[in-house]
Amino acid sequence: MKLATYTYKDRARIGQIVDGRIHATAWADTMQHLIRRGITTTRTSDSYPLEAVKLEAPVRPSKIIAIGRNYADHAAETGSEVPKAPLIFAKFPSSIVGPGETITWSSAIATQVDWEGELAVVIGRRARNVSEDDAMNYVFGYTIANDVTARDLQLRQDTQWTRGKSLDTFCPLGPWIVTRDEIADPHNLAIKTTVNGEVMQDSNTSNMMFKIPMLIAYCSRMFTLEPGDLILTGTPPGVGEGRKPPVYLKDGDVVSVTIEGIGELTNPCRVLTE
């Protein structure tokens, strides 16, 4: 099942996508409420073609847990050590934008802004001290994230990952959530990122070192995961920082992240010169 948050005539709703149309649901007024209550098959008679609505970020989580260097070849391209355990950092929920929304940053704050296409796991149940064997039962579904990163802030100015990765608009998310039952194996999905149509990242989630059950179990031992929370599972090689010479996003660029079985997340870029 594909579930989206959308706006139609200035009203935000939740909908199920079927055959290119979005069907308004009667489940809940936010995705978090839907996740907490569980899925039913009830939907209203209201439906619209996708092009008639504005898709929003599908979920607004209480927290975004991101995993660094979870692809060995990405660690290698940036000259970093492969972590022996999941490398955890956070992105602020205020950094979330939806599909089609603009990634923006001020040139006075950052000039080396990079892309990181990632599979995002949506937590479906409150999880604390979950075992790896039981971890997938806590997954609601999957969506696409772009872990946009100001490399100059993250790596050179003050080496603060949170600041470099949590600027407003630095977490594009969407275009919808695909429920767990629709993805037979989340560890075997093609993942690709393009900038202005040029392929930058082209990999497969099978290359993740720390798999989803391990990540959920590991994280839940340290902090409680709430319904709707996100785990960003890391990015494959092909980021701008790893290129020689490095390549960074510019004003007017368009970034698209595509993951097999989920869809495509596209966002334009704009540099503010204030």
Domains of the chain and CATH, by start: 2-55 (2.30.30), 64-272 (3.90.850.10)
Q: What's the CA gap between 257 and 173, in Å, rounded? A: 10
3-class state of residue 13 by DSSP: strand
Q: What's the CA gap between 205 and 225, in Å, rounded? A: 22
Q: Residue 41: is its pLDDT beyond 70?
A: no
| Res 42: pLDDT | 67
Q: Which residues lie closer than 8 Å to 261 by C-beta, 6 or more apart?
A: 178, 182, 183, 189
| Res 36: pLDDT | 87
Task: Name the β-bridge partners of 12.
Answer: 7
Q: What's the CA gap between 235 and 74, in Å, rounded? A: 7
Phi, psi of 171 (to 5 degrees): -135, 70
Task: Name the β-bridge partners of 242.
Answer: none
| Res 188: pLDDT | 98
Q: Which residues lie closer than 8 Å to 156 by C-beta, 6 or more apart?
A: 112
Q: Residue 136: is its pLDDT beyond 70?
A: yes
Q: Are 103 and 169 in contact (CB under 8 A)?
A: yes
Quick one: which H or E segment has residue 118?
A: strand 117-123
Q: What's the CA gap between 203 and 70, in Å, rounded? A: 13
pLDDT-derived band at 9 (thresholds 50, 70, 90) equals: confident
> Which residue type is seen at 261?
G
Q: Are 114 and 151 in contact (CB under 8 A)?
A: yes
CA atoms within 13 A on the CB side of 2: 17
pLDDT-derived band at 45 (thresholds 50, 70, 90) equals: confident
Q: Which two tokens stand for residue 263?
A: 């869809």
3-class state of residue 261 by DSSP: coil
Q: Residue 249: is its pLDDT beyond 90?
A: yes
Q: Are 246 and 235 in contact (CB under 8 A)?
A: no
In angstroms, the Cα distances linking 28 to 43, 80, 129 are 10, 44, 29
| Res 84: pLDDT | 93
| Res 218: pLDDT | 98
Is the Cα torsion angle 70, 76, 78, 79 positive or negative in sign?
A: positive
Is the Cα torsion angle 199, 201, 203, 206 positive or negative in sign?
A: negative
Q: Summarize pLDDT for 142-175 with one digit per residue, the tens.
A: 999 999 999 999 888 877 789 999 999 999 999 9
Q: Are 114 and 98 in contact (CB under 8 A)?
A: no
3-class state of residue 111 by DSSP: coil
